[in-house]
Structure 1
């Protein structure tokens, strides 16, 4: 009998340690970049400020600079989703995490922004694509 109680408490501890993963994922999503704010003639610093993150890749060539940003849409941080995931996890003693964590992991869609600057680091053009540029 004592052994069963210890096993039960260990299982309960393991389940409660899982609690919060989906809630944390919902609360710490990625804010979508406002690409409509980017305009031809913007400086490199202005584009960086508008996109809000570091480029994944920078290519320097004789014509100027090319920056490639890896962005995500559809995964905004949500307090409501975080509270709901936390409550469901609490009420189900952590069992919700088996469903909630993969659901939160599937949120969002990656896309790529390629920005072309001239030698003076002034934006010439930009392209948005679903696949990583070469």
Structure 2
């Protein structure tokens, strides 16, 4: 017959390894971007380094215009804290927290943002428009 200690150990082990989607989703949220770069005088290369290539790029009236679109995420500390919270809640509720935690992580997955910028002849921002 299986002892109670062995059965309890197997249950705890199963809980630890079954902590589910909310922990993973919290850890994999998008990173926080430095939106303070969208200011006058910032070089185009800094924008490309932080946000990647623009979604559109065109020339109007002799000036270059680009649109940067991205999901504003969370700092590493916030993501780690959320993942730890979900893991602890999973253990304390024997996995029932996933019913609340997984949909919550799906909803709080960052904010979509978009900025249109134009550059001067030195490829520095001379105008910023917040689109979203």
What TM-score, normalized by structure 2, do the two folds share?
0.65
Structure 1 partner of 2:35:
35
Structure 1 residues 68 and 27: alpha-carbon distance in aligned structure 2, compared to 1, 3 A threshold: same
- The size of the alignment, in residue pairs, is 113
Structure 1 partner of 2:114:
112
1:123 pairs, out of 122, 125, 130, with 125
Matches within 5 A, 1:1-134: 19-49=19-49, 52-55=50-53, 57-62=55-60, 63-72=63-72, 75-76=74-75, 77-107=78-108, 108-118=110-120, 120-130=122-132
The answer as to whether partners of 1:89 and 1:95 remain within 8 angstroms in 2 is yes
**RMSD, aligned CA:** 2.8
What TM-score, normalized by structure 1, do the two folds share?
0.64
Q: In the TM superposition, what whole-angstrom CA distance separates every residue of 1:63-90 from its partner, at most 9, and x where no partner exists? A: 21413222325x4442222111012223
